[in-house]
Amino acid sequence: MQVLLSAAELASGIDRLADTVRREYGRRPLVVVGVLTGSIVLVADLIRRLECPIELSMVSASSYRGTATAPGRLELRLDSLPDLAGRDVLLVDDIFDTGRTLEALVAELRRRGAASIRSLVLVQKAGRAEVAMQPDFVGFDIPDVFVVGYGLDFDGAWRHLPHLAALDSADIAAARVGSAPRPDAHRPTPVDPAGDART
Ligand code: XMP
């Protein structure tokens, strides 16, 4: 497992994202819609940097099943959303991979009559998009690797890491045979940050 983005780098990225959101909305009230479960850490960090009135709602989207790293059928649950008619909505997700999750969610939010919908993601994977839409705000561009930490998990593991790490094949194999996360999971090998593609 290799660190792609340290906790300090993530914090700077969230600062930049919060500045962008502040510039976009000013003091206008905002409905922030987070996507469970991967966005919980990002949402918690982001909303505490914003000063406009915020109503927070969480929806659920799952496209990864069990120990798979390839997307499965997309399941959405939006039953806890407030009335969005005429309101400004900021949709927050952990990662833009194929983009199918965000595209489906934006379509659902649009159906509910939101005045505006913008999407924000922590990271966008290179060369994976399968949809025409792009997220409006992106924290970091990353290479096409499976990442965990800062809310993202692999089969339930590593969500709590304070940094973002790329899994290697040994990590994935260990998780697939049902092993607990390796004891060194909290001490990933740092990589030269110049080697990644973040913005
Ligand atoms: P799509 O392909 O719809 O995927 O953009 C979005 C959702 O897929 C999950 N995902 C990942 N989860 N590490 C993860 O822990 C990854 O590298 C990864 N890539 C996609 C995630 O739930 C995201 O919301």
Measured by CA distance, the residue closest to atom 22 of ligand 1 is: 38
pLDDT tens-place string over residues 115-157? 999 999 999 999 999 999 999 999 999 999 999 999 999 989 9
Rounded CA-CA distance 99/189 in Å is 29
Pocket test for ligand 1, best of 97, 103, 148, 196 (most atoms within 8 A of CB): 97
Ligand 1 atom closest to 63 (CA)? 8
Among 97, 141, 171, 196, which one carries the catalytic annotation?
A: 97
Ligand 1 atom closest to 96 (CA)? 5
Banded model confidence at residue 179, pLDDT cuts 50, 70, 90: low
Measured by CA distance, the residue closest to atom 21 of ligand 1 is: 95
Rounded CA-CA distance 135/59 in Å is 17
Rounded CA-CA distance 154/152 in Å is 7
Instruction: Give yes or no: 79 in active site.
Output: no
Domains along the sequence of the chain with CATH:
9-140 (3.40.50.2020)
37: preceding bond cis by omega (within 30 degrees) = yes
Rounded CA-CA distance 20/33 in Å is 17
Structure tokens of 53? 């009135």
Measured by CA distance, the residue closest to atom 14 of ligand 1 is: 152
pLDDT tens-place string over residues 30-85? 999 999 999 999 999 999 999 999 999 999 998 755 455 565 688 999 999 999 99
Task: Note the pLDDT of residue 175.
Answer: 75
Sheet holding 116-125, edge to edge: 75-77, 54-62, 30-36, 88-96, 116-125, 137-142
The structure's pTM equals: 0.87
Ligand 1 neighbours by CB, cut-off 6 Å: 35, 38, 63-64, 71, 93-101, 146-148, 152-154
Helix residue ranges, H only, the chain: 7-25, 40-47, 100-111, 169-176
